[in-house]
Structure 1
Amino acid sequence: MYFEKIDSLNDLKKLSIEQLKILADEMREVLLLKLSSHGGHIGPNLGTVELIIAMHYVFNSPIDQFVFDVSHQSYVHKMLTGRKQSFLEARHYDDVSGFTNPDESEHDLFCIGHTSTSISLACGLMKARDLRQEKNNIVAVIGDGSLSGGEAYEGMNNVVEVGTNMIVIVNDNEMSIAENHGGIYQNLKLLRDSKGKAECNFFEALGFEYFYIENGHDMNELVTTLKKVKDVEHPVVVHVHTIKGKGFKFAEENKEMYHAGPPFDRKSGKYIYPLDNPESYPAVTAAFLMEQIKKNPKVAVLNSGTPGGFGMNAEWRKEAGSQYIDVGIAEEHAVAMASGMAKNGVVPVLNVYSTFLQRAYDQLSQDLCINENPAVILVYLASVYGMNDKTHVGIFDIVMLGNMPNIVYLAPTCVEEHFAMLKWAMTQREHPVAIRVPAKEFISSGKEDTTDYNKLNKFAVTRHGRDVAIIALGDFYTIGRDVADKLKAECNMDVTLINPKFISGLDTALLDSLKKDHKLVVTLEDGVLEGGFGQKIASYYGTSDMKVKNYGIKNSFPDRYNVEELLIENGITVEKIAEDMEKIIG
């Protein structure tokens, strides 16, 4: 095997073009072995094997600097830059993250996990290089799906103005996570159909020199073109047409399903862990939204490039028709568009992951909350139980949305509360409403939630006690319940248990009433502690005699963590909380 003998990029550069082709086949096989047993981003990496080999063959990393957009397609880059053991040996699979990470290698310049940022980051490298009067190449690799994000346009606009060496490689596999949406893709199709010869050329219109590679898996063409653009003194776009999932039949045939996933059986093409669970919050919510679409032509469902995670498969999207809107990977636009739709009398429901909603902070504040338009936002994986790479953690939403004026942010603890909140959010016309969709297990209380959510910020007391009150939010409500059970069983202590439901406001009347016969209030929240829900309660009690103990996650970027270990690290276990409470109240 050539791959096993490559211990440095110098070894790679000694190979002939024909040997590089064999190397690509070997590396694709290594990828499939790891991905099938470990999971990860499948299609993006299988589709860029030849491209990344050619990049490292022609350029001189880390002197020449590479920035991968999202960086979920950087596995081959890692394999060639000193980390092949993490792909060859199962016991080392988790030694590397699924994204670029400077802690792993000098060849990784940034921790990147969100989309459309590579050109802006590379533009910064470009400007710094010029100020230092250096001459290295700056290369940004961006997928066609990422071109739907506004920052990609901002970056390209500024790159051309700077005007010195910068190479933007557009990896065009005709896909985002699902299908692409937006006007830019009409021009990309025209460029593909004309083999790059069309006069209407978006990149040339911006001021880039343009090169087109029809077969992005042709090593000869890749190496020849990259050598041609190496060391140019002006901005260049190399438009490379590739096949997402190249070399694995099932990934080529079902590009959306095989964008990323858990381990799978290579012979059957089936995931070992089923992706579709009819008893999950995304599935039941998608079914409910479809019912609403059929009943009301003014209901519209939006998402920004990630429909599958919300139960919106291809069949669902087809049935929803024009009442389903995918804006591409453009969360800022999605939030502002939802605000505009709500203003004009439509009921927009935006489905978004917590980590990606962070990208739309200004639009949430300026375009939505200031205008108080009644859009609905379903926030998924806002939890320690969600994604766990530090570029994708979803635990900052409470600090963000919980402190934003005019929005009502809700945290259900079970499916009945979730639907009661959603039905209310879609019928009221006074406030923007966000719902923190549970990320832990699917829980049914078996009881209808009859809460009147028009009465804002009214917490639900689910058990009455004295001395100690536990206010447990959302997914952490079960922890609070278990603490109450433990104290009752072991200490015969009856504590008050509260399900707040509202994140964005306080039930001050209830908090005041607790002062009569309670000494301690404990808060539990599935998010960052600093600036979060619990600290608002602590601040409210201020100089009163009430003691307050807050539990949450310390303000950090936890990386590839084990949930239970992270909770222990932060003192969030039933045993530790019960022990703390006993000590505090004596």
Structure 2
Amino acid sequence: MKSRILSKIHSPADVKQCSQAELLSLAKELREFIIDIVATKEGHLGASLGVVELTVALHYVFNTPDDQLIWDVGHQAYGHKILTGRRDLFHTNRKLNGISGFPKRAESIYDAFGVGHSSTSISAALGMAIAAQLDRNFERQHIAVIGDASIAAGMAFEGLNHAGVTNANLLVILNDNAIGIDPSVGALKNYLTKAKVGFKPRQSNMIEALNFNYKGPIDGHDLPALVEALNELKQQKGPRFLHVITKKGKGLQKAEEDQVTYHSPGKFDKSTGEIIAKSNENLPPKYQDVFGLTLVELAEKNPKIIGITPAMPTGSSLKYMMQRFPERAFDVGIAEQHAVTFAAGLATQNYVVFCAIYSTFLQRAMDQVIHDVAIQNLPVIFCIDRAGLVGNDGATHHGVFDIALLKSIPNIMIAAPSNEIELRNLLYTVSKGVSQPIAIRYPRGRGSIIDWQQDFEAIELGKFQQLKKGNRIAIISLGTMRGNVEKAIEALGKNEKAVAHYAVRFIKPFQTGFFESLFNEYKCIITVEDGSIKGGFGEDVSAFAQKEFYHGKVINLGIPDVFIEHGSPDELYDLVGLSAAKIAKVIEENL
């Protein structure tokens, strides 16, 4: 791609030197650059394409990094990264040791706040704005860019509510494109849909009612209009709100037409937008599809089954139930806290409630899990997707804390099926009724069994499974870590006969009798889990061994006590010592 303007942009100071005509060329080149790189390197596409003009306008009008710019979630920040000195590194985006896919304070002075989860930008920007007032810095601007899906979340409203009673130098920009990852939902989305470019605010404008100076909606792809509006708002004081209408995927026809798929499309032809197909022939299923398709089967036989997800119907595959039983499947938007308590309310009325939620997003609703579900011992079934290391999204998205967080809560059972068939059968088992909350965790990506849709079989809750006999070392694998452990044992050659292998399918309640028998039989026990080693399952085994005066060795393998950055799952599991090769090395050292 020939780049006449973009190649000269090394910082926002260079953007400010552009003429109006050059700004338009810069926006065109920036969009082409993003498409060119993401087509081969992969990443989040549609969101960044939709805010190209807004990104250029923001860095043209404001004095970043002294003026502080916060991007909500950060899916849309690729253009921001490219204009702020990371153009030549952008090909390393989301790769091991490369730049992050999200804004990150440690990466650049232009990344004012690290993000990865939604709806945090207004609160963060307000905190910065109040700090500036306390420091007597009344000129610094604070800009939060938030999408229509994110602004519907509770935390965003909390920030708006607080900001409206301050005189903080805060500008909230609503990037309204009617979609997050999936289409936006809810009453606020319907309210915003009525607002078109040229629309005059009604007297009942809810943003003005919160004491914000409201401007818009304006066309978010009209660069001169954006520059004019931002210059006007820059001169005003107190909380301000700019409503811009954009199209996710703007500039790539396929991305505009299929905004869900092109949120993160994988590799594609940069000229046509056609996705480069991967052969799915004879491949095992994705775990989320095992969940979603199995839930439909169960719901067909049981009218009391309900499915819930906070804004992830495609990612969690609850979309299948939403298509088949729309009256019993709910996307509640980016509202994890509401999702959990909504599930609790349904459970009080004797419905069988499956709440499908990513591990990293469940963290946002721990108070509700404790107070609204566990204390009342309501039988909500949490289907925790993306458990373990998820790969290129990095530290904000790895699902490594759910075990440590849930394990300390009374009444909750925690399960970790080791393959697709076990997940399917566990969903079947709990659909028949449970007397307490249960969390079922499973990873992102494909399993290993092609013929997984077998007849249902009930699983005995709380029971371990012996997979292999051995006489010297017992390895206990958690969930899908079973696969890496099996490969590690195979790599031992003749020494594999010395190693016994047990699958942990139930982390809680702790099986004291099972471990008492292991302590009597083996001189070395190794636990392998894809969760935080601090507060994890292995820590329970070590504590119980000490309590029982076990004289053998207990070795815990898991995610170390650091935040793991981005890279492919295989790279990251090897990095933390959980690849088959690294597990085999630990076994050999202790034989």
Instruction: Give the TM-score normalised by the residue count of structure 2.
Output: 0.92
Q: How far has the Cα of 1:397 moved from its partner?
A: 1.5
Distance in 1 (CA, whole Å) between partners of 2:494 and 2:463 is: 31
Distance in 2 (CA, whole Å) between partners of 1:243 and 1:85 is: 27
Structure 1 residues 305-384: aligned runs within 5 Å? 305-313=311-319, 317-384=322-389
* Structure 1 unaligned regions, length at least 5: none
Distance in 2 (CA, whole Å) between partners of 1:89 and 1:395 is: 24
Q: Does 1:296 align with 2:302?
A: yes
Quick one: which amino acid aligns to residue 207 of structure 1?
Answer: N
Structure 2 equivalent of residue 105 of structure 1: 108
Q: Deviations over 1:230-282 (max 9, x none)?
A: 04221000011111111111111111111122111235533224498772222
- Cα gap change, 1:374 to 1:137, in 2 (>3 Å): same
- Cα gap change, 1:288 to 1:566, in 2 (>3 Å): closer
Q: Does 1:514 align with 2:518?
A: yes
Distance in 2 (CA, whole Å) between partners of 1:574 and 1:475 is: 12
SS state of the match for residue 306, structure 2?
strand
Q: How far has the Cα of 1:458 moved from its partner?
A: 2.4
In the comparison of the two structures, how many residue pairs are matched?
581
Structure 1 equivalent of residue 31 of structure 2: 28
- Cα gap change, 1:76 to 1:551, in 2 (>3 Å): same
Maintained 8 Å contact 1:386/1:394:
no
Q: How far has the Cα of 1:106 moved from its partner?
A: 0.6
Maintained 8 Å contact 1:336/1:363:
yes
SS state of the match for residue 229, structure 1?
helix
Quick one: which amino acid aligns to residue 453 of structure 1?
Answer: E
SS state of the match for residue 368, structure 2?
helix
Distance in 2 (CA, whole Å) between partners of 1:462 and 1:88 is: 43
Maintained 8 Å contact 1:191/1:201:
no
Maintained 8 Å contact 2:391/2:568:
no
Specify which structure has the bigger relative contact order, considering alpha-carbon pairs within 8 angstroms and separated by 6 or more residues: 2
SS state of the match for residue 214, structure 1?
strand
Structure 2 equivalent of residue 255 of structure 1: 259
Structure 1 residues 506-545: aligned runs within 5 Å? 506-542=510-546, 543-545=549-551
SS state of the match for residue 258, structure 1?
helix
Structure 2 equivalent of residue 424 of structure 1: 429
Structure 2 equivalent of residue 555 of structure 1: 561
Structure 1 equivalent of residue 405 of structure 2: 400
Quick one: which amino acid aligns to residue 126 of structure 2?
Answer: C
SS state of the match for residue 352, structure 1?
strand
Structure 1 residues 164-175: aligned runs within 5 Å? 164-175=168-179
Structure 2 equivalent of residue 68 of structure 1: 71
Structure 1 equivalent of residue 130 of structure 2: 127
- Determine what percentage of the aligned residue pairs are the same residue: 35
Structure 2 equivalent of residue 479 of structure 1: 484
- Select the residue among 276, 283, 291 that pairs with 2:289: 283
Quick one: which amino acid aligns to residue 184 of structure 1?
Answer: L
Q: Deviations over 1:352-399 (max 9, x none)?
A: 111111111111111111111111111111112555411211111221
Maintained 8 Å contact 2:401/2:532:
yes
Q: Which moved more, 1:157-166 or 1:116-125?
A: 157-166
Quick one: which amino acid aligns to residue 287 of structure 1?
Answer: L
Structure 1 equivalent of residue 162 of structure 2: 158
SS state of the match for residue 85, structure 2?
coil
Q: How far has the Cα of 1:484 moved from its partner?
A: 3.7
Quick one: which amino acid aligns to residue 125 of structure 2?
Answer: A
Structure 2 equivalent of residue 443 of structure 1: 448
Q: How far has the Cα of 1:562 moved from its partner?
A: 4.2
SS state of the match for residue 556, structure 2?
strand
Structure 1 equivalent of residue 56 of structure 2: 53
Q: How far has the Cα of 1:91 moved from its partner?
A: 13
Maintained 8 Å contact 1:85/1:92:
no
* Structure 2 unaligned regions, length at least 5: none
- Select the residue among 186, 190, 194 that pairs with 1:186: 190
Quick one: which amino acid aligns to residue 309 of structure 1?
Answer: G
Distance in 2 (CA, whole Å) between partners of 1:203 and 1:346 is: 37
Distance in 1 (CA, whole Å) between partners of 2:238 and 2:496 is: 76
- Cα gap change, 1:236 to 1:419, in 2 (>3 Å): same
Q: How far has the Cα of 1:189 moved from its partner?
A: 2.2
Q: Does 1:270 align with 2:300?
A: no
What is the CA RMSD across the aligned residues, in angstroms? Answer: 2.5
Structure 1 equivalent of residue 226 of structure 2: 222
Q: How far has the Cα of 1:158 moved from its partner?
A: 1.0
Structure 2 equivalent of residue 204 of structure 1: 208
Q: Does 1:245 align with 2:249?
A: yes
Distance in 2 (CA, whole Å) between partners of 1:552 and 1:93 is: 20
SS state of the match for residue 219, structure 2?
coil
Q: Which moved more, 1:244-253 or 1:465-474?
A: 465-474
SS state of the match for residue 261, structure 1?
coil
Q: How far has the Cα of 1:483 moved from its partner?
A: 3.8
Q: How far has the Cα of 1:449 moved from its partner?
A: 8.0
Distance in 2 (CA, whole Å) between partners of 1:153 and 1:512 is: 52
Distance in 2 (CA, whole Å) between partners of 1:480 and 1:573 is: 8
